Chains A and B, each alone.
Chain A
Amino acid sequence: MSLVFLIFIPILAALFIPLLFKRLGQIHTGWFVLLVPAALFSYYATRLPSVMEGGTYVSEFSWIPSLDIAFVAYLDGLSLLFTLLITGIGALVVLYSIFYLDKHREQLHNFYVYLLIFMSAMLGVVQSDHLITLYLFWELTSISSFLLIAYWYTRDRSRFGALKSMMITVFGGLMMLGGFVLLSIMGGTYSIRELIAQAPELAQHDFFIWALVLVLLGAFTKSAQFPFYIWLPDAMEAPTPVSAYLHSATMVKAGIYLVARLTPVFALSEVWMWLVAGVGLFTMVWASFFALKQKDLKGILAFSTVSQLGLIMSLLGVAAAAYHVEDAAETYLKYAAFAAIFHLINHATFKGSLFMIAGIVDHETGTRDIRKLGGLMSLMPVSFTVALIGSLSMAGLPPFNGFLSKEMFLTAMLSLQEFDMFSMDVWWVLFPIIAWVGSVFTFIYSLYFVFHTFAGKHQPEQLPKQAHEAPIGMLISPVFLAALVVLIFFIPNLIGDWLVKPAVAAIQPFLYDSPQNVDIHVAAWHGFNTELFMALGIFAIGGLMFWTLHKWQRLYDLYPDAISLNRLYDEMMLLSGGGANRFSRIYMTGFIRSYLVYMFSFMTFIVLLTLFLTDAFQIDFSNLTPIGIYEIVILLALVGATLTILGSKSRLTAIIALGAVGYSVALLFVIFRAPDLALTQLVIETISVALFLLAFYHLPQISRKEERMKFRFGNALVALGVGITMTLVALSAHSQKALPSISEFYKETVYKEAGGGNIVNVILVDYRGFDTLFEIAVLGIAGIGIITMIRLRLTKKEGQHENK
């Protein structure tokens, strides 16, 4: 089966969801949805053995050939790993959601349609080899995330959070598109593989640094790096399955994926390494520090996710160092990429289970406020066990998988001492220190999360609901993930061979020919080395600080909200909305006069400018027709009638004068040999005057006081401008013809080919019949509009209020 087609399976399945929900409402729609990720997961899993050997799959579907845009599905170690995460975690989350979302009360069709759209989009992001389609899927993940966060759209916070995430991630996406375009200009191709092949030449290009920064903006906004992370905590308004899936396991890792995927292109740059590693590490310590400020269970998890994403990001930054060292595979620098991917897998397992537990606590107690919770250990033993496993893994304790990747993280940071370029020989020491500080806070908030929820004193009076253990179906997914957390600790090298090494080979293709060459062995124990002492220090200091947490946690409240990034976002939104409003208020006055003045002035301006610039104004005196006495008389009548309108006191006079103008025009048509026009104009003028009078007949004294128009200089100026412009246009249009008139053709063919004698009529019904068809359509529309205005009156029905 074509890989490209597989990407679209979830979105196609989404088409049937509303039908299933309506017709088979008694069966929870989630059961049908579950089939999709489960089937995809098992299919993609069969590709694992050959990808392990270094094999890749490509399949292409041309979309817009003229612009060279195609859907290209490219499956190598990195994209297969993400694909398995998306489908695997997806299946578990759908299973969990079946018990989390009530089939009677919730709008399941909306939920699952959005979720399936997201699944397709995410598969597209990680499998696309084509930059433009990658961008397309990237924005589609933002949109589906927006829809899912706003799933409970009646809540203010949900809408706010949805909009915030949308604004920030779409901003980043647009920047990224700019980066992609620059890349394609530099490399002459949209294919990522082809760009990687010419990476050294790209680095010499002037646009290189711009492309780099723009692409990183996209990755940082999506992966919630400092200072763009502020959308993620607000995104926690989404239903918990969504938070577990999008905002922890998959979508926020799209930025990680992008950085990993483009590492071969950009790693040669010093800026890349400093930015990715620096921003990542700073995000890690910043978010872990502020996680302890949170009172909401999901808020803690959101900050912890930001922090862990920063950790992975920094590892990818350090992994770029391997590009600058000879025989990097022989040094400790090789660990960074492996640690990044390994921790990514581990994070998906333990954070997924923790989110699901937070959802269970919310579901079974009715609150997520950690101050009200406590002592649930005995009431919810299974949940507690899962939460403990997840938290201790996050804290980096053995025997859980988090310990292994955390150790390797410290190893990678320490490995920077072997690197002496880009002034790293001076600054390298900062990296392990910051990493260590961040790890200490990670340790504290992990314990804070689990013990303040499940240990301590139970406060049943604070809880909206009687707390009890969750139904078995809801526990399947978190228990499964928790089991993986433990299992991976014992078989890390199996995971390494299957999943991590193929991905590492894709990130560092210049280092390794095939995944087997990645010479890294994961061990829980590797002697008394620096990493071990650092870890012991984390446990000791972290434990001590957690013990005294109640004494110093209040310090967080001293941090003023006024200077927070959230405040900055709010101010910017307010400013842009209000500013746009004020700006448009300047010229949108509500007077039709103002708008007409804009239009007429602008039209006069551009027409005169064009006449001037193209030197078009010429008068050709040779081709004039002689002036006749009848014409002059009629024109005098016409001008006289026009002046009468301008000077008239009563409206009736004006209307009759308008009729006079019309009849004069009809006479002019007669003189200039246009019998059809003269006839039509005469009849129309008669009917129009009748219509004007009819409309007035019904108006009882339109206003008692009728007066002459007051002279207004501004209006006169605009009118004079338009009049002069039109005179000039008429003169120049008559005096020069760029092309010979098509009339000659009409005269030749009208009798022989069109079978008619009256050229005007034949033009109307034959040569240009299309115009006439649309014209009578416009007539019909005008008629309908008039009927509507007169017959349909929804307001002002005496004594009736139709709106009620």
Chain B
Amino acid sequence: MELVMSVAIGLLFMAAVYLMLSKSLIRIIIGTGLLSHGAHLLLLTMGGLGGTAPPVVADGVTVGDYADPLPQALILTAIVISFAVTSFFLVLAYRAYQELGTDNMELLRGTEDYE
């Protein structure tokens, strides 16, 4: 399973990077969203996909085939942060469009010449 997941992760990253290199601001934001999905799955795969029970223990029961809780905690943090960042980007794009009337990165390029 890990092999298949690794390939899927690579695919997600590839699509994300390709989108981020495009000219449209909204595509760049979608790209960052894909990138964080890829990163979450990467964390999960790194820890191993084994384990037959969720990492929740009851009183006194410490032996059991639990899934690795550490990557899960990291991912939980990452999900929330990436939500905040995505919304920030989104508002940035929205305001940029309002002020400048375009979402084309080529037109948004700073062209100030300073000598």
Contact = CB atoms under 8 A, between A and B. Distances in A.
A726 interface: yes
Interface stretch (A160-168, A329-337, A368-376, A747-755): A747-755
A747 B53 CA distance: 13
Contacts of B52: 673
A655 B16 CA distance: 13
Contacts of B69: 743, 746-747, 759-760, 763
B95 A790 contact: yes
A777 to B, nearest CB: 11
A395 interface: no
Given A723-B11, A764-B77, A661 B34 contact: yes
Contacts of A592: 28, 105
Interface string A752-781: 000001111001100010011001001100
A639 B24 CA distance: 22
Interface in A594-651: 596-597, 600, 619, 623-628, 631-632, 635, 638-639, 642-643, 645-646, 651
A658 B35 CA distance: 11
Interface stretch (A84-92, A171-179, A396-404, A687-695): A687-695
A793 to B, nearest CB: 9
A719 to B, nearest CB: 4
Contacts of A655: 30
B90 A695 contact: yes
A593 interface: yes
B88 A722 contact: no
A253 to B, nearest CB: 40
A699 B94 CA distance: 8
Contacts of B75: 674, 677
Given A590-B111, A723-B14, A757-B56, A639 B81 contact: no
Nearest to B52: A673
B11 A673 contact: no
Interface in B57-87: 57-62, 66-70, 72-73, 75-77, 79-81, 83-87
B21 A789 contact: no
B30 A625 contact: no
Tell me what chain B mostly uses at the interface: helix, strand, loop, or mixed.
helix
A663 to B, nearest CB: 11
A750 B58 CA distance: 10
A532 interface: no
B68 A727 contact: no
A677 to B, nearest CB: 6
Interface in A664-719: 665, 668-669, 672-677, 680-681, 684, 687-688, 691-692, 695, 698-699, 702-703, 709, 712, 715-716, 718-719
Nearest to A715: B21
Nearest to B66: A747
Interface centre among A623, A731, A742 (most CB of B within 10 A): A731
Contact of B41 (A665, A695, A733, A763): A665
Interface string B1-34: 1111111111111111111111110111010011
Contacts of A720: 14
A723 B13 contact: yes
Contacts of A768: 73
A680 B90 CA distance: 20
A722 B27 contact: no
A699 B69 CA distance: 42
Given A747-B62, A751-B59, A709 B76 contact: no
Q: Residue among A655, A672, A759 with the most chain B CB within 10 A? A: A672
Contacts of A639: 8, 11
B95 A675 contact: no
Contacts, number: 263
B21 A719 contact: yes
Contact of A719 (B5, B17, B87): B17
Given A677-B79, A723-B13, A747-B66, A672 B49 contact: yes
A529 interface: no
Interface string A718-738: 111011101101110110000
Contacts of A645: 15, 19, 30, 34
A741 interface: yes
B83 A688 contact: yes
Interface in A385-408: none
B30 A658 contact: yes
Contacts of B38: 726
A715 B17 CA distance: 8
Contact of A759 (B11, B27, B66, B115): B66
B43 to A, nearest CB: 9
B97 A699 contact: yes
B87 to A, nearest CB: 6
A591 interface: yes
Given A715-B22, A718-B17, A733 B54 contact: no
Nearest to A631: B1
Given A691-B87, A709-B22, A759-B66, A680 B59 contact: no
A379 B25 CA distance: 76
B37 A661 contact: yes
A591 B42 CA distance: 29
A672 B44 contact: yes
Contacts of B60: 751
A207 B8 CA distance: 59
Nearest to B17: A719
B66 to A, nearest CB: 6
Nearest to B9: A730
Given A665-B40, A723-B11, A646 B17 contact: no
A520 interface: no
Nearest to A675: B54
B80 A730 contact: no
B84 A782 contact: yes
A551 interface: no
A632 B1 CA distance: 9
A645 B30 CA distance: 9
Given A627-B4, A742-B70, A763-B70, A786 B9 contact: no
19 contacts: A590-B110, A600-B17, A625-B49, A627-B4, A635-B5, A661-B37, A673-B66, A676-B72, A677-B75, A695-B94, A699-B94, A724-B14, A726-B13, A727-B7, A730-B6, A751-B62, A758-B56, A763-B69, A778-B84
Given A624-B3, A638-B8, A757-B58, 9 more contacts: A619-B3, A628-B1, A645-B15, A646-B15, A674-B75, A722-B14, A742-B70, A757-B59, A759-B56
Minimum-distance CB pairs A-B, first 9: A723-B14, A727-B10, A782-B84, A759-B69, A719-B18, A763-B73, A730-B6, A719-B17, A723-B10
Interface of B: 1-24, 26-28, 30, 33-34, 37-38, 40-42, 44-62, 66-70, 72-73, 75-77, 79-81, 83-88, 90-95, 97, 99, 102-103, 105-106, 109-111, 115
